Each structure stands twice: as C-alpha cells, then as structure tokens.
Copies of this chain bind each other. A is one copy, B any other.
Amino acid sequence: MSNRGMLIVLSGPSGVGKGTVRQAMLEDEFRDFHYSVSMTTRKPRPGEQDGVDYYFVSREEFEQEIANDGMLEYAQYVDNYYGTPMKYVNQTLDSGRDVLLEIEVQGAMQVRENCPDGVFIFLTPPDLLELRNRIQRRGTDDQATIDKRMQKAADEIKMMENYDYAVVNDEIPNAVQRIEKIIESEHLRVPRVIDQYKKMIGE
C-alpha cells in the first residue's frame, strides 16, 4: 500500500549466517526484494561479475563517492573499501520496491543514522539465550573459556539493542519466515500508510 519502498537491513554478529539467510530470501519466488549490490575496491575474483556480485571501482572512485556523501555506509577491511552506494538504494525505494541490505553491524549503525525509517533486523545465534545453561550443563570448560564466551554473548546483546527486531537463526527457513512476517507487518504500520489515506481525502 505504501508508495515508497521499505529499506530492510539484515545484520548480526559475524558467523551467524546473514549471507545464507539473505540468499534464501532472494531465492523465494513469491517475494520481490531488491538486493542492494555493494561497492568495493577489491579486485574481482574469478567468476564474479561487476554489478552482480559487487560494483568494482578504483580506490579514487570510492573515495570520490565518500567525499560526495554518496555512501549509505562503508568500511575499510584489509586495505579495501566496502560499502553501499546511496544512489541505487534511493532509486529502488522511490520506484516502490523494498530494498534488502545484508551488512555488518558497524555498517548497519551508519544506515540507521541516514535512514531512521528503515527496518533493522538483528539475526541472533540460536544458542544465545541458552548459552549459560549449555555451558553449565556441559561443565567441561575452564573459567577463561566460559568468561570469553559470556563476554562475546554480552557484546552481541549490546549490539541487538540498536535494532528493531531480533530473529533467531535456528533453521534457515524459520528465520526467513520470521523476517518475511516482519516485512509484511511493517508495511501495515500507520506511519507508512497514513499519507496515502490523507492524500485521498485531499490533505
């Protein structure tokens, strides 16, 4: 019902399976998500296509985009830039289609600042809520290992606080189903639909 598309940001701690869930969402033939292709300065690997896997650009081009405020989010890893160009995202949203971003937590926080009306979904490891029980039940870990795991859990829970939804990635199809329900519900939120109604009564 909404005129403009919705920006959906899928993120979570590294190793949680963001990429696999994103892939499963895009393969769902009943849905029409536009996946936002990232831009990078790293060289294409064999088989990778420009505009499909990444937009491959030079370091100078990437830095020009940053200077022009053209990046929705970006980061540097191992001497290469990775990021999301704002132009394609906005064009797609304006055309009325939803855009799916699958990015690291640091990037997601940058997007939150630029697009507060996006839907921010945090994918959580299936054992996060059961972690302490599981460690205690097993009873074989030394204190240093336990502390390290609990610290990692605490960090992940701290990240989660910046998101709208927490989706447990226990099984890929379950996680996908939960995310699709979130997207459908978000499309029914009053702030997303009210303008169309107001337009109808001429306000």
Q: Which A positions have Cβ atoms within 8 angstroms of B?
A: 1, 122, 128-132, 150, 153-154, 157, 160-161, 163-168, 178, 181-182, 184-186, 188-190, 193-194, 196-198, 200-203
Question: Does A185 contact B194, Cβ atoms closer than 8 Å?
Answer: no
Residue pairs across A and B with Cβ atoms less than 8 A apart, 29 shown, are A1-B129, A1-B168, A122-B190, A129-B197, A150-B201, A154-B201, A154-B203, A157-B194, A157-B197, A157-B200, A160-B190, A161-B190, A161-B194, A164-B190, A165-B185, A165-B189, A165-B190, A166-B188, A166-B189, A166-B190, A166-B193, A167-B188, A178-B188, A181-B184, A181-B185, A182-B185, A182-B188, A184-B185, A185-B185
Task: Identify which of B189, B196, B201 contacts A153 (C-beta below 8 A).
Answer: B201
For residue A185, give the distance in angstroms from its CB to the closest CB of chain B: 4
Nearest B-chain residue to A124, judged by Cβ = B197
For residue A73, give the distance in angstroms from its CB to the closest CB of chain B: 20
Question: Does B197 contact A160, Cβ atoms closer than 8 Å?
Answer: yes
Q: In the assembly, how many copies of this chain are there? A: 2
Question: Does B188 contact A157, Cβ atoms closer than 8 Å?
Answer: no
For residue A158, give the distance in angstroms from its CB to the closest CB of chain B: 9
Nearest B-chain residue to A130, judged by Cβ = B200
Task: Identify which of B181, B184, B198 contacts A157 (C-beta below 8 A).
Answer: B198
For residue A170, give the distance in angstroms from its CB to the closest CB of chain B: 12
Inter-chain CA distance A28–B83, complex, in Å, is 46
For residue A197, give the distance in angstroms from its CB to the closest CB of chain B: 5
Inter-chain CA distance A180–B167, complex, in Å, is 17
| Top 6 closest pairs, chain A to chain B, by CB | A185-B185, A182-B185, A157-B197, A181-B181, A165-B188, A154-B201
Q: Which residues of B contact A160 (CB under 8 A)?
A: 190, 194, 197
Q: Which residues of B contact A1 (CB under 8 A)?
A: 129, 168
Nearest B-chain residue to A157, judged by Cβ = B197
Nearest B-chain residue to A160, judged by Cβ = B190
